[in-house]
């Protein structure tokens, strides 16, 4: 394990780097930018790479990882790679095929973490967002516990070292945890805002929380209301940035780490990628943390309006 990094132990004995690099990109950004940015992230010291089938960049991410393995920067075991099961593959017989598609694109033998992306089953097929003639999404009825059974089989097969969930609420998490015959607890849950109650619940169940959109997202028009507040412009963040002689982005990332949350940072700019890795070089005081806790408006940048 790289001593430069903080690691968090998962409930299955595996370890996840506390800071991750997110690879989601808005549609207008060319895929080639993902390869460049991921290479830069690995060069800067990121070892946790977060992606997903639906991002449609896994070939580019895989290329970046393999090139950094080939030039001796890292070994495969240094990289913690996360992928996610998309909603059109929720039928138990399709779950492993989604993971196998990701692995084929990545040219990897396994992922370190595989997550159920959203608790929303959709009609199976090649369309990522199947819609009817009125443009409404076509959902499917699949029991999430049956999906979890299939996720456990992916772990048994050695295709995923750890398994977890994303965008689940407490009720949905409890449904999995209380499932008869549960063999593996979810190791992790991805979240998108200061969900204190969910954080406390997950800690009590030994489940690690991972925060995405910790910097307020890239404001992709497809997902984010353009009139929503710009997180990094917040005056409280700005004042703390001045106090610590750091950027607002670093204060926001550090806040999550000190709450015991694994955090994903995302950027295509080399300067920001290099800056984000410096999150381990300073500490926020208890008073700073209290000020930042006070910012919680239960605001979601990413809403599932498809």
Catalytic annotation, residues: 55
Of 165, 286, 279, whose CA–CA distance to 215 is shortest? 279
Host H or E run for residue 211: strand 208-211
∠ CA 239-240-241 to the nearest 5 degrees? 90
Distance separating alpha carbons of residues 306 and 304, to the nearest angstrom: 6
Ramachandran quadrant class, 62 (left: phi over 0; alpha: psi -120 to 50; beta: rest): alpha
Distance separating alpha carbons of residues 92 and 70, to the nearest angstrom: 36
190 marked ligand binding residue:
no
Based on C-alpha coordinates, what's the Rg of the chain?
A: 19
Contact by Cβ (8 Å): 144, 87: no
Residues making up the annotated binding site for substrate are 117
């Amino acid at each position: 394990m790289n001593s430069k990094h903080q690691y968090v132990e998962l409930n299955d004995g595996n370890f996840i780097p506390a800071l991750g690099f997110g690879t989601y990109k808005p549609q207008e950004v060319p895929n080639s930018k993902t390869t460049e940015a991921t290479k830069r992230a690995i060069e800067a010291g990121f070892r946790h790479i977060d992606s997903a089938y639906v991002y449609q960049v896994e070939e580019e991410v895989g290329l970046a990882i393999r090139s950094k393995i080939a030039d001796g920067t890292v070994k495969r075991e240094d990289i913690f790679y996360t992928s996610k099961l998309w909603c059109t593959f929720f039928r138990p017989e399709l779950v492993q095929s989604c993971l196998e598609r990701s692995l084929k694109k990545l040219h990897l033998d396994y992922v370190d973490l595989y997550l159920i992306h959203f608790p929303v089953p959709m009609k199976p097929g090649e369309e990522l967002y199947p819609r009817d003639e009125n443009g409404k999404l076509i959902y499917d009825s699949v029991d999430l516990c049956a999906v979890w059974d299939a996720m456990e089989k992916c772990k048994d097969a050695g295709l995923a070292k750890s398994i977890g969930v994303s965008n689940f609420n407490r009720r949905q998490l409890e449904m999995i945890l209380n499932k008869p015959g549960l063999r593996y607890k979810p190791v992790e849950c991805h979240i998108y805002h200061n969900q204190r109650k969910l954080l406390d619940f997950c800690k009590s169940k030994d489940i690690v929380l991972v925060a995405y959109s910790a910097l307020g997202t890239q404001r992709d028009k497809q997902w984010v209301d353009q009139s929503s507040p710009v997180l990094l412009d917040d005056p409280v963040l700005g004042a703390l940035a001045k106090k610590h002689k750091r950027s607002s982005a670093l204060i926001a990332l550090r806040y999550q780490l000190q709450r015991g949350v694994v955090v994903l940072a995302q950027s295509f700019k080399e300067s920001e990628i290099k800056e984000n890795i410096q999150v381990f070089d300073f500490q926020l005081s208890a008073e700073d943390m209290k000020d930042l806790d006070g910012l919680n408006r239960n605001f979601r940048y990413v809403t599932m309006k498809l």
